[in-house]
Structure 1
Amino acid sequence: MINLLGHSESIKFYENKPDVEIWRAFDKGDEFAFNYLYRTYVVRMFKYGCQLCRDQALIQDCIQNIFIDLRKKRGGLSEVISIKSYLYKILYREIIRKLNSNKSTILQGNEITENSFSIEFSHETKLIQEENLEEKREMVRSALEKLSSKQRQAILLLYEEGMSYKEISIAMEFSEVKSARKIVYRALSSLKGILTGK
């Protein structure tokens, strides 16, 4: 178990370093780098996983499996430009793998998320909402549910997770950044059409 001093030191040491450098240090066996990655991303990954699947125990298992697997593969990991995008991508894959192993039929990613990938507003957003905005919020939520699963995922990554288009393209496994821009543009256009009744 890593002590609190180690955690504090790892956060201070790595918080302003680029992802590529942190990932290389982790790959070379740096325990502070591992500690930093785990402490920084576990809660975020769990929150993101809850958007993909409602089974919290399954999500926790997936996250644990990911970190165990990454630790085992140290020394042979590929370079990572955006750690958050990479971890979200492999979490998505791990959830699909776990769900498939629990079912008799094989599901594709879009089948899994088509009905379960809903947008959850942050706690701060809920607190800010005034009673007179509740109707508008419900209208937006309802409109979001009419988008495709991929569009909802892109909107979540952009607005809730604060990812750049490049990071979204990594997380959603697009070959080009313009594909991320395109899906967000189409999602926003569809939302506008739904909300204005056009």
Structure 2
Amino acid sequence: MQKYESDCHQPDCLWKRFREGDTQAFEQLMKRYYTDLFNYGARFTGDANLVKDCIQDIFLLLWNKRHTIGDVQYVKTYLLTALRRKLKKEKEKLRIQYVEDPFIFESGFDAPLTAEQQMMMEEQLKEKILSVRRVLSQLTARQQEIIYLRFYMEREMTDIADIMMLNRQSVYNLLHDALKRCKAICGQMELVPGLSMAAFVFIPLIF
């Protein structure tokens, strides 16, 4: 097992071996991408079981069609796109509405400070995160999605275009409009003194 992992740990190698029927490679792919897929799927619905079922269905379909599936350049992008389409299809069946505020607030703080200093910094961090969360909640579903993909998942614009099924120019326009909207909202809000676009460094903590 150790030799296997050292010889084949890159996505393209795992994908190649999976297509050849290697069960270990298939398991490695599932372990590597499951969390990212679940977190991405949770942006569309609050039904965790639905997201899990869709992910399971995707991997089951992949295994059943492993001999006919071709090479993919970006495995993660391929899987995210498949999940997005699957969720859309299932939601249309169940008539599930998009969750307007899907952001999960969970943060922690660990630093060698006094109890008083730590409490003060935690409160400041919570205030900024809460403010950014409120800004993001005022965006459209697609604006929320592109910010999630770009700043949390750190996907390239070409990948985002594939995942969201848009052309590249539309992706740039959507991101530009989303950030412009965020900036405008920041200028209107007085939730935290001095709130600006710089506060969006906390986006990874929100998701």
Task: Tell me the TM-score normalized by structure 1.
Answer: 0.78
Match of 2:7 in 1: 13
2: CA distance between counterparts of 1:35 and 1:9? 16
Match of 2:149 in 1: 157
Q: CA deviation at 1:194?
A: 0.7
2: CA distance between counterparts of 1:130 and 1:145? 22
The verdict on how the C-alpha distance between 1:99 and 1:154 changes in structure 2, with shifts beyond 3 A counting, is same
1: CA distance between counterparts of 2:40 and 2:82? 12
Q: Please tell me whether the aligned partners of residues 100 and 137 of structure 2 are also in contact (alpha carbons under 8 angstroms).
A: no
Within-5 A mapping of 1:49-60 = 49-60=41-52
Provide, for residues 110-145 of structure 1, a one-character-per-residue CA deviation record: whole Å limited to 9, x for no partner.
xx43x4463335x5xx11472023332222111111
The verdict on how the C-alpha distance between 1:59 and 1:65 changes in structure 2, with shifts beyond 3 A counting, is same
RMSD over aligned CA atoms reads: 2.4
Does the residue aligned with 2:67 lie in a helix, a strand or coil?
coil
Provide, for residues 41-70 of structure 1, a one-character-per-residue CA deviation record: whole Å limited to 9, x for no partner.
112211222221111111111111111100
1: CA distance between counterparts of 2:89 and 2:4? 32
Q: Please tell me whether the aligned partners of residues 119 and 156 of structure 1 are also in contact (alpha carbons under 8 angstroms).
A: no
Equivalenced residues, count: 178
How many percent identity over aligned positions? 27
Match of 2:134 in 1: 142
2: CA distance between counterparts of 1:120 and 1:33? 32
Q: CA deviation at 1:181?
A: 2.9
Q: CA deviation at 1:89?
A: 1.2
The verdict on how the C-alpha distance between 1:166 and 1:119 changes in structure 2, with shifts beyond 3 A counting, is farther
Task: Tell me the TM-score normalized by structure 2.
Answer: 0.75
Is it true that 1:24 corresponds to 2:16 in the alignment? yes
2: CA distance between counterparts of 1:46 and 1:10? 27
Does the residue aligned with 1:52 lie in a helix, a strand or coil?
coil
- Unaligned runs of 5+ residues in structure 1 are none
Greater shift, 128-137 or 158-167, is seen at 128-137
Match of 2:160 among 168, 173, 195: 168
Q: Give the structure with higher Rg (CA).
A: 2
Q: Please tell me whether the aligned partners of residues 10 and 35 of structure 1 are also in contact (alpha carbons under 8 angstroms).
A: no
Q: Please tell me whether the aligned partners of residues 15 and 25 of structure 2 are also in contact (alpha carbons under 8 angstroms).
A: yes
